[in-house]
């Protein structure tokens, strides 16, 4: 059985850097605290916790003199302000591509535009983008776009991990609602590459395996993109979710993984599929 792994499967550079920063900071300073989980992956959180990187809900839970790490998803300015007032050290793990979205939405607001974010309600990244400007509108899907009132001038950014198809559908509706509309495409390049690769792989392979936590919106989106092109697509969280019957009459398997899936989980899945498929040649990286 042939195994093809999407080249950009798994950690994006933003998440990889933030996780490494959490380990390095825990090593250097003893404990490090994070507001919420650094990635949407339970195993990574457990391992980080063992290394001394703890999750807290509120800044007030960070003990005096300790270190607070702000995560890759970005953080609302009010939380930065609150943290600076405390006697704690701050480490910024914000992905530079998220910082770029903050910058873009502030520029759109300066141009006198109503700001619109295409993204998931309540997602940490979207919450932090929304906090950069006054009363932005958050639109997650086409139905919400249809309900929006007409506006004279508006500017749109998107959550970094959105699917371009969703964004395009929403913009088509908004074009009928906004006289002067400006769109900045802030889907990040690791997401774009990951999406392009899974779309191609899903058409070429008999079976598709997407590795990622069910709490990860971007893993779910990958699964959706794959399922739309290949009915034999399965999302798994680890190698133990794989069943031999998934691979009946299968000559080729495509593998992708969400941006919060660590390398060791991907490797364990590949190893198990190799065993099931009696693959002795190894896996091919699909670019």
If the CB atoms of residues 219 and 233 are measured against ligand SF4, the closer one turns out to be 219
Q: Which stretch binds ligand SF4 (CB under 6 A): 149-157, 164-172, 187-195, 263-271?
A: 187-195
Distance CA 45, CA 60 (A): 21
User: Under rule CB under 6 A, how many of the chain's residues touch ligand SF4?
Assistant: 14
Residues in 151-170 that interact with ligand SF4 by CB under 6 A:
160-161
Site track 101-140 with ligand SF4 (rule: CB under 6 A), x = hit: ----------------------------------------
CA 241 to the chain's CA centroid: 22
If the CB atoms of residues 34 and 178 are measured against ligand SF4, the closer one turns out to be 34
CB 35 within 8 A of CB 79: yes
When binding is defined by CB under 6 A, the residue of 72, 105, 133, 205 that contacts ligand SF4 is 72
When binding is defined by CB under 6 A, the residue of 259, 266, 269, 270 that contacts ligand SF4 is 259
Edge-to-edge order in the sheet of strand 207-211: 233-236, 207-211, 252-257, 2-6, 284-286
Q: Which residue is nearest to ligand SF4 (CB)?
A: 14
If the CB atoms of residues 12 and 269 are measured against ligand SF4, the closer one turns out to be 12
Q: Which stretch binds ligand SF4 (CB under 6 A): 92-100, 128-136, 141-149, 197-205?
A: 92-100
Smallest separation, CB 123 to ligand SF4 (Å): 11
When binding is defined by CB under 6 A, the residue of 4, 5, 9, 12 that contacts ligand SF4 is 12
Question: Among all residues, which ones are annotated catalytic?
Answer: 125
198 binding ligand SF4? (CB under 6 A): no
Closest CA to 151 of 124, 114, 116, 102: 114
If the CB atoms of residues 72 and 207 are measured against ligand SF4, the closer one turns out to be 72
Smallest separation, CB 244 to ligand SF4 (Å): 33
CB 186 within 8 A of CB 101: yes
Distance CA 159, CA 243 (A): 34
Distance CA 254, CA 204 (A): 8
When binding is defined by CB under 6 A, the residue of 9, 15, 108, 270 that contacts ligand SF4 is 15
Smallest separation, CB 15 to ligand SF4 (Å): 5
If the CB atoms of residues 224 and 279 are measured against ligand SF4, the closer one turns out to be 224
Binding residues (CB under 6 A) for ligand SF4: these are 12-15, 72, 95, 97-98, 160-161, 188, 190-191, 259
């Amino acid at each position: 059985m042939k195994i093809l792994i999407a080249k950009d499967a798994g950690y994006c550079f933003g998440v990889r850097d933030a996780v490494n920063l959490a380990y390095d900071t825990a090593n250097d300073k003893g404990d490090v605290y994070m507001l919420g989980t650094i990635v949407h992956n339970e195993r990574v959180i457990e391992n980080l916790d063992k290394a001394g990187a703890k999750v807290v809900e509120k800044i007030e839970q960070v003990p005096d003199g300790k270190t607070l790490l702000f995560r890759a998803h970005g953080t609302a300015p009010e939380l930065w302000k609150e943290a600076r007032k405390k006697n704690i050290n701050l480490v910024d793990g914000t992905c530079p591509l998220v910082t770029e979205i903050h910058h873009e939405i502030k520029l759109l607001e300066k141009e006198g535009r109503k700001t619109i974010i295409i993204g998931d309600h309540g997602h940490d990244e979207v919450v932090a983008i929304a906090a950069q400007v006054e009363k932005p509108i958050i639109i997650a899907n086409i139905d919400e776009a249809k309900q929006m009132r007409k506006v004279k001038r508006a500017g749109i950014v998107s959550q970094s991990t959105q699917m371009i198809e969703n964004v395009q559908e929403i913009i088509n509706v908004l074009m009928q609602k906004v006289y002067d509309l400006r769109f900045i495409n802030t889907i990040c390049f690791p997401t774009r590459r990951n999406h392009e690769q899974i779309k191609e792989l899903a058409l070429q392979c008999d079976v598709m395996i997407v590795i990622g936590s069910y709490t990860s919106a971007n893993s779910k989106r990958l699964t959706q993109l794959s399922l739309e092109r290949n009915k034999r697509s399965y999302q798994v969280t680890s190698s133990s979710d794989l069943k031999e019957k998934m691979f009946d009459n299968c000559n080729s398997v495509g593998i992708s993984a969400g941006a919060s899936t660590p390398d060791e989980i991907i490797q364990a899945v590949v190893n198990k599929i190799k065993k099931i498929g009696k693959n002795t040649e190894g896996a091919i990286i699909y670019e």
